[in-house]
Amino acid sequence: MNASPVATPAADARPASRPTIGVLALQGDVREHVAALAHCGAEPVLVRRPEELAAVDGLVIPGGESTAISNLLVAFDLLEPLRARLRAGMPAYGSCAGMILLASEVLDTRPDAEHLSGIDMTVRRNAFGRQVDSFEVDLDFDGVEGGPVRAVFIRAPWVERAGDDVQVLATVPSGPFAGRIVAVRQGAVVATAFHPEVTGDLRVHGLFVDIVRGA
């Protein structure tokens, strides 16, 4: 895994707008997303309460354990406010567990697990296998310049169905999982099955920051 940041425009080379982007800080790899967003020219803030959610221009839902995050959304009274903001057009980006939570349908999850219906897609939880089956691969990623994106898959989901209005951004290029959908976008909502925040490649976060600016 390459921990050196891939060359991206420095924050001061980007447009003057510095959007406030929340990182859902209930469980998962929060710190890495905060660092990536700051490097890409956003003002990252932690979101644990409805009033904090109401103050952001966009939201990152990090990787972690999707059913745990689902339960915590309920416990912190964030589930319905988050659904409402997504329906109102708030930009969002979910990685791994975040992709699961943004789905309209989730397979192989607990019957009491909640999801947000931010993207019209069916996602299969833990589709690539257990922790020991984690792997890395280079992906062609639509909308990201500069060559392939190094993708790290850790107990990752994949997309089994993408709705008519959903843009497929990346698929696994080869091997036993060739063709599986691992990155999508619908409007201002983006989801990846992998963890760009752990590789030092900041281009996916840069894409999301630009989406928030445009919104």
Set 33, 39, 115, 195: catalytic member: 195
Is 136 annotated to bind ligand? no
CB 14 within 8 Å of CB 43: no
Does the annotation mark 40 as catalytic?
no
Nearest residue to 99 via CA among 54, 74, 69? 69
Closest CA to 188 of 84, 98, 115, 87: 87
The verdict on whether residue 65 carries a ligand-binding annotation is: yes
Q: Which among 92, 74, 101 is positioned nearest to 157, based on CA atoms?
A: 101
The reply to whether 115 belongs to the active site is no
For residue 52, give the amino acid letter.
Answer: E
Q: Is residue 163 part of an annotated ligand binding site?
A: no
The tally of CA atoms less than 13 A away on the side-chain side of residue 153 is 25
Out of 40, 114, 197, 205, the active site residue is: 197
What amino acid is encoded at 121 in this protein? Answer: M
Measured CA to CA, the distance from residue 55 to residue 85 in angstroms comes to 11
d(CA 161, CA 179): 12
The single residue of 33, 40, 96, 114 carrying the catalytic annotation is 96
For residue 64, say whether it is annotated as part of any ligand binding site.
yes
Q: Is 124 annotated as a binding residue?
A: no
Active site residue 197: yes
The answer to the question of whether 155 is labelled as a binding residue is yes
The set of long-range contacts for 135-140, using a CB threshold of 8 Å and a minimum separation of 24, is 136/1, 137/172, 137/173, 137/175, 138/173, 139/170, 139/171, 139/172, 139/173, 139/182, 139/183, 139/194, 140/170, 140/173
Annotated binding site for L-glutamine: 64-66, 125, 154-155
Which residues are designated catalytic? 96, 195, 197
Residues at the binding site are 64-66, 125, 154-155
